[in-house]
Structure 1
Amino acid sequence: MALAELGAIVLDCPDPRALAGFYAEILGGTIEGDADWTDLRTPTGQTLAFQRAPDHVPPTWPSPGTPQQFHLDLTVPDLDEAEQRILPLGAKPLDTNAPTRTWRVYADPAGHPFCLCAC
């Protein structure tokens, strides 16, 4: 028997509603909350939460100076199509130049690394 159940994945950021909106455009779902704490309830039932951190320092992936603490893997059926859709939302390419790989690394608007992975 498990001791706990995963409630939410929480990302610190300077603007919770804006970052929730970014991920809602990618994952779908509904946004709830306020300027300090915002939940994105995804269609799969998982909650991605965003907490205001005024002094947030984004990771400098892949440099260890300000290392990433974790990242999200988002599965998509077509990497090229997904990339074309996330870039206008504010995603920034970090490691996307290996055309034979089945994953690409981006940063969200608050600087958190995430991967698009071919399913």
Structure 2
Amino acid sequence: MALAKLDTVVLDCPDPRALAGFYAALLGGTLEEQEDWVDVKVDGAQVLAFQASPGYVPPKWPSSDGSQQFHLDLTVDDLDTAEQEVLRLGARPLEVEDRSRSFRVYADPAGHPFCLCRA
């Protein structure tokens, strides 16, 4: 039996509304805003939340002298189409390597790494 149940994944960032808007557009979610906190709610999925973090410093990826902190793996049907959309939404590529791989690595607008993974 589990001791706990995962409720919400929370990302620190400089602008919760902007970063939540990025992920809501990417995942098809809706925003629920509080003062320095914004939830992205997607039917049938965990809540993804964003909180204001004064002095926020984005993670370095990959780096032995800077913490990656965490990353999200997001499954997509078509990597090329998904890539065009995440770049349009404000992501930036972190790697431009073998495009035949089953995943690609990006940073969201606040610098958190995430992967688009072929379904």
Q: Which residue of 1 aligns with 2:37?
A: 37
1:1-119 matches, within 5 Å, as: 1-119=1-119
| 2-structure distance, mates of 1:57, 1:109 | 12
TM superposition shift of 1:74: 0.2
| 2-structure distance, mates of 1:74, 1:94 | 15
Percent identity at matched positions?
A: 64
SS in 1 for 2:21: helix
SS in 2 for 1:9: strand
Does the 8 A contact of 1:17 with 1:34 survive in 2? no
TM superposition shift of 1:9: 0.4
Give, as a single letter, the amino acid of the residue that structure 1 aligns with 2:99: P
TM superposition shift of 1:43: 2.1
| Ranges in structure 2 where 5+ consecutive residues have no aligned partner | none
RMSD: 1.0
SS in 1 for 2:51: strand
The 1:3–1:113 alpha-carbon spacing in structure 2 relative to 1, beyond 3 Å, is same
Give, as a single letter, the amino acid of the residue that structure 2 aligns with 1:16: P
* 1:44-91 CA distance string (max 9 Å, x none): 231000010011110111122222111000000000000001101110
TM superposition shift of 1:35: 4.4
Give, as a single letter, the amino acid of the residue that structure 1 aligns with 2:36: D
Give, as a single letter, the amino acid of the residue that structure 1 aligns with 2:8: A
**Following superposition, which runs of at least 4 residues in structure 1 exceed 3 angstroms of deviation?**
none
| 1-structure distance, mates of 2:102, 2:51 | 31
SS in 2 for 1:67: coil
